[in-house]
Amino acid sequence: MAEYQTPTTGEGQESSFEQLKPYMNPTMAYYESSRCLFCFDAPCVKACPTGIDIPLFIRQIHTGNLDGAARTIYDSNYFGNICGKVCPTEVLCEGACVFNLQDVKPIEIGRLQSYATSRAIRQEKRLYQTGPANGHKVAVIGAGPASIACACELRLLGYEVDIFEAKSHPSGLAIYGCAPYKVTNQDVLEEVNYLQELFQFKVHYKHPIQTKAQITALEHDYAAILLGVGLGPTQALHLEGEELDNCIGATEFIEQVKLIPLTVEVGRRVIVIGGGNTAMDAASESARLGAEMVTVAYRRSKEEMRAYAFEYDLARSAGVMGLFNAAPVAVLGEEKVSGVRFVKTRNESGQLRHISGSEFEVACDMVILATGQAKQSAFLSLVDSLDKDGRGCIIVHPQTFQTSRPQYFAAGDAVNGGAEVVNAAAEGKLAARGIDKYISNSK
Ligand SMILES: Cc1cc2nc3c(=O)[nH]c(=O)nc-3n(C[C@H](O)[C@H](O)[C@H](O)COP(=O)(O)OP(=O)(O)OC[C@H]3O[C@@H](n4cnc5c(N)ncnc54)[C@H](O)[C@@H]3O)c2cc1C
Ligand code: SF4
């Protein structure tokens, strides 16, 4: 039995995708901030990839200095509100909070962070001034979190910044990927608009960089170039039947859910193949769109899934079922998907083995492949002598984020292979400082 009805109205959609971390009201924020112990050498700060001074902003909230709290957050992380909502806080700051040692609920750091930053956004607080113009221009390719964080920091340092974005919205997978029950598109766009108002970087939408001639022109016109292009479409599995109707990649499915939630078609019986966080999101979202039966099928055991345990629990709470040690062999159907043939697997000293003769079929009318995203190989090949690692990720200097081509810097998923918004935001900011060092030294 489906737990959710297919939403047909805006209200239905809001209820199916009810926010996991709704905004606190002032009383809630006052009470929650009063619980913080303001630890010395706070473990929550060490667990944050952007190193936000968490006890400080919590103290500022508690004493009513909300502008100060927002400033403390934005000084470390330009995606303060979005990260407060989408960060896996359970395994980062909140997971490190000392209260866990006493079996007491950790401080709700993410929600407090969103409380302070969303107020600054709503009230259009002028927390920053751009630096005096230094006469240098930087081009940024992609308008995801890595690029926008880089652009904000560069504007503080006085650079002129042009962002070239292939799509029609800013913030990359924060808008096209992050689950709608974690953050709304409105929240994402409001924070990015706020940053753009504050920092005045230019974004050229529907402007993909895809030819050698464009790259050569950028190299000529700009002192440095940031590659913030993220990852590509869902990686094909090359399974028999993968081309059938209603067999779709997870990132492509989720993008539809984010952009056209009321018209996206979800199957009645959905099989999601994969064991990462994207698989859990695709499964949860299918269930919340009213699918009657959603199964996450993973070729290894439940314990070996890469998804965070809380993401699996969240999918389970939406009615999703798990099928483990089952490797897909073929997608079945004539024109349209009608099922998946699996083979059972076992782990032999770390090696995944198919158990011969154990094939079985599960009927479904939709298959979602959550098998990872491909790298942006075609785009990256446009930049000569750009070093990549064995996975196809751009190799950068760990502190400056400079690539093997001195004029080029890179940050975010294209470098780390796919992490979180907070990692992209942290890397983008560091890359801006690397760019500043490079341009200052070349004068
Ligand atoms: C389904 C899904 C769910 C996720 N959920 C979460 C979550 O809950 N919490 C979390 O913290 N993280 C989540 N992530 C991860 C997070 O969204 C990414 O790590 C983060 O967005 C990476 O930022 P980025 O700037 O490196 O790249 P992206 O966000 O991918 O942005 C890259 C941008 O570059 C543009 N671009 C690409 N090529 C070109 C080109 N040639 N020319 C011009 N523009 C180009 C793209 O259109 C895009 O806008 C999720 C990811 C996915 C796929
Ligand atoms: S670890 Fe917990 S109690 Fe200590 S400073 Fe961080 S949020 Fe406050």
CA torsion 10→16→20→26, rounded to 10°? 40
Output the 3-class SS for 262-304.
Answer: CCCCCCCEEEEECCCHHHHHHHHHHHHCCCCEEEEECCCCHHH
Across 151-160, average pLDDT: 98
The set of protein residues with a Cβ atom below 6 angstroms from ligand 1 is 86-87, 141-147, 164-167, 172-174, 177-179, 182, 208-210, 228-230, 251, 254, 278, 281, 376, 379, 412-414, 419-422, 424
Instruction: Output the CA 176–ligand 1 centroid distance in Å.
Output: 8
User: Which H or E run contains 408?
Assistant: strand 408-410
Residue 364 counted as domain residue: yes
**Quick one: which atom of ligand 1 is closest to the CA of 421?**
11
Q: Is 104 in the pocket of ligand 2 (CB under 6 A)?
A: no
49 Cα: distance to centroid of ligand 2 (angstroms): 16
Residue 189 and residue 79 share a domain: no
Atom 20 of ligand 1: nearest residue by CA position: 421
- Which among 380, 406, 428, 405 has a CA at the least distance from the CA of 140? 428
The C-alpha atoms of residue 384 and residue 103 are separated, in whole angstroms, by 54
* Centre of ligand 1 from the C-alpha of residue 411, in Å: 11
Residue (of 14, 96, 24, 90) closest to 61 by Cα position:
24
* Alpha carbon of 314 to ligand 2 centroid (Å): 25
Q: State pLDDT tens for residues 175-208.
A: 999 999 999 999 999 999 999 999 999 999 999 9
Tens digits of per-residue pLDDT, 364-420?
A: 999 999 999 999 999 999 999 999 999 999 999 999 999 999 999 999 999 999 999
9 part of a folded domain:
no
Residue nearest to atom 1 of ligand 2 (CA): 97
The greatest distance separating any two alpha carbons of the chain, rounded to the nearest whole angstrom, comes to 71
Say if residue 327 is in the same domain as residue 385. Answer: no
One-letter amino acid of 334: E
Are residues 326 and 267 part of one domain?
yes
Does one domain contain both 224 and 279? no
Instruction: Please indicate, yes or no, whether residues 200 and 298 belong to a single structural domain of this protein.
Output: no
pLDDT (0 to 100) of residue 2: 62
φ, ψ dihedrals at 78, nearest 5°: -70, -15
Q: Which ligand is nearest to the CA of 311?
A: 1
Number of domains in the chain: 3
Query: Would residue 15 count as lying in a domain?
Result: no
Residue 129 covered by a domain? no
How many A from CA of 154 to the centre of ligand 2?
Answer: 31
With a 6 Å cutoff on the Cβ, whether 36 touches ligand 2 is yes
* Residue with CA nearest ligand 2 atom 8: 36
Q: Choose the residue to mutate in 34, 40, 92, 99 for probing ligand 2, maximizing ligand atoms within 8 Å of C-beta.
A: 99
The CATH number assigned to the domain holding 55 equals 1.10.1060.10
Same domain, 278 and 354: yes
Is residue 68 within 6 Å of ligand 2 at its C-beta? Answer: no
Task: Kindly state the DSSP code that residue 51 receives in the 8-state scheme.
Answer: -
Residue 16 maps to a domain: no
Please tell me the residue having the least CA distance from ligand 1 atom 42. 208
Among the three residues 310, 338, 369, which one is the final residue of a domain in this structure? Answer: 369
Q: Give the number of the ligand closest to the Cα of residue 142.
A: 1
Phi and psi for 430 in degrees, rounded to 5?
-65, -40
Domain range for 299: 247-369
In this structure, which ligand is nearest to the CA of 215?
Answer: 1
Instruction: Show which of 89, 122, 155 is a domain's final residue.
Output: 122
Percentage, residues of the chain above pLDDT 90: 94
Q: Are residues 210 and 254 in the same domain?
A: no
Q: What is the pLDDT of residues 242-301, one digit of tens each?
A: 999 999 999 999 999 999 888 898 999 999 999 999 999 999 999 999 999 999 999 999
pLDDT at 1: 47
Q: Are residues 385 and 348 in the same domain?
A: no
Residue 14: inside a domain, yes or no? no
Ligand nearest, relative to CA of residue 33: 2
* 365 and 288 both lie in a single domain: yes
Same-domain status, 251 and 362: yes
For residue 102, the CA-to-ligand 1 centroid distance in Å is: 37
Q: Which residues pair with 412 in a beta bridge?
A: none
Q: Cα(408) to centroid of ligand 1, in Å?
A: 19
Average pLDDT, the chain: 96
Ligand nearest the Cα of residue 214 is: 1
Atom 14 (ligand 1) nearest CA: 420
CA of 396 to the centre of ligand 1 (A): 18
pLDDT band at 11 (very low <50, low <70, confident <90, very high): confident
- 81 and 189 assigned to the same domain: no
* Residue pLDDT, tens place only, 347-356: 998 899 999 9
pLDDT of residue 282: 98
Could you tell me which residues come within 8 angstroms of residue 372 by beta carbon, excluding any fewer than 6 positions away? Answer: 234, 235, 274, 276, 278, 418
Residues 48 and 98 in one domain: yes
**219: domain CATH number?**
3.50.50.60
Q: Please identify, by atom number, the ligand 1 atom nearest to the C-alpha of residue 145.
A: 25
Domain boundary among 369, 396, 423: 369
Range 84-100 average pLDDT: 98
Ligand 2 atom 2: residue of nearest CA:
97
CA pair distance 83, 308, nearest whole angstrom: 17
Average pLDDT over residues 333-357: 95
- pLDDT above 80: residue 443: no
pLDDT digits (tens, 9 = 90+) for 21-68: 999 999 999 999 999 999 999 999 999 999 999 999 999 999 999 999
